[in-house]
Amino acid sequence: MAQSITIARPYAEAAFALARDADALAAWTDGLGLAAQVVADERVDQVLRSPRVDVERKAALVLEVCGDALDLQQRNLIRLLTQRDRILLLPEIHRQFRALRADHERTLEARLISAQPVDDAVRDRLAAALSRHLDRTVTLATEIDETLIGGAIVRAGDLVIDGSVRGRLTRLTGALSR
């Protein structure tokens, strides 16, 4: 895992530089996302891992499935990754590209995990508070986890705020056992 992250980094950084210079961050995000989904499909994955399929046919498969969604530079990246036997790193390249874009645009996607549905006004106030605290524009997605009993957990990048009843009980148990 750590090795794939390290190997993917220069490709993600190069793609980001190309996209930023061309003012095409959204198009690159979409194109890389589509190509990453194609590569992650188990049928395509089997072909890409096969030693019996040559490099040109592997690249052609990915490009054909992506269709016209990729521009010339994105298509060239797919060919390069295939030639260097790095095409299976595309999901990680996409993930790192998105992180570079978010850092560049000073945005952050956060998750609010709660025991019960959260009112839109509460969600908006929380997103605004996180935006002020983190000095970024925060987009807050919500999800329900009934195992929390009550309260909520906020995950924003490396920041985790656990205000759930389950989290409080865990901390209380730890404190009592010392």
Tokens of 12: 């993600």
Distance (Å, rounded) from C-alpha 73 to C-alpha 19?
9
Is residue 83 located within the same domain as residue 120?
A: no
Report the CATH number that the domain containing residue 38 is assigned in CATH.
1.10.520.20
- Domain count across the chain: 2
Residue 178, helix vs strand vs coil = coil
Confidence band of 166 (pLDDT split at 50, 70, 90): confident
Place of tokens 């010339």: 72
Is residue 13 located within the same domain as residue 58?
A: yes
Is residue 6 located within the same domain as residue 68?
A: yes
Is residue 77 located within the same domain as residue 115?
A: no
Is residue 9 located within the same domain as residue 93?
A: yes
Is residue 18 located within the same domain as residue 82?
A: yes
Full domain range(s) for residue 135:
107-177
Which of residues 102, 123, 139 is at a domain's end?
A: 102
pLDDT surpasses 70 at 1: no
Which of residues 102, 136, 154 is at a domain's end?
A: 102
Is residue 134 located within the same domain as residue 51?
A: no
Is residue 9 located within the same domain as residue 53?
A: yes
Q: What is the 3-state secondary structure (H, E, C) of 72-111?
A: HHHHHHHHHHHHCCCHHHHHHHHHHHHHHHHHHHCEEEEE
- Give the N- to C-terminal CA distance of the chain in Å, as an integer: 36
Which of residues 71, 102, 133 is at a domain's end?
A: 102
The percentage of the chain sitting over the pLDDT mark of 70, rounded to a whole number, equals 99
Q: How many residues are listed for the chain in this entry?
A: 178
Task: Name every residue whose Cβ is closer than 8 Å to that of residue 32 and which is 6 or more positions away in sequence.
Answer: 15, 74, 90, 93, 94, 97
Range scoring the smallest mean pLDDT among 63-67, 77-81, 111-115, 174-178: 174-178
- Structure-model confidence comparison of residues 160 and 78, the more confident one: 78
For residues 165 and 150, the answer to whether their CB atoms sit within 8 Å is yes
Q: How many helices (H) and strands (E) does the chain have?
A: 8, 4
Q: How many CB atoms sit inside 10 A of residue 123's CB?
A: 16
Is residue 87 located within the same domain as residue 128?
A: no
Is residue 62 located within the same domain as residue 137?
A: no
Amino acid at 11: Y
Distance (Å, rounded) from C-alpha 122 to C-alpha 112?
11
Is residue 94 located within the same domain as residue 9?
A: yes
Range scoring the smallest mean pLDDT among 60-69, 100-109, 118-127, 152-161: 152-161
Place of tokens 């990048």: 157
Distance (Å, rounded) from C-alpha 90 to C-alpha 96?
10
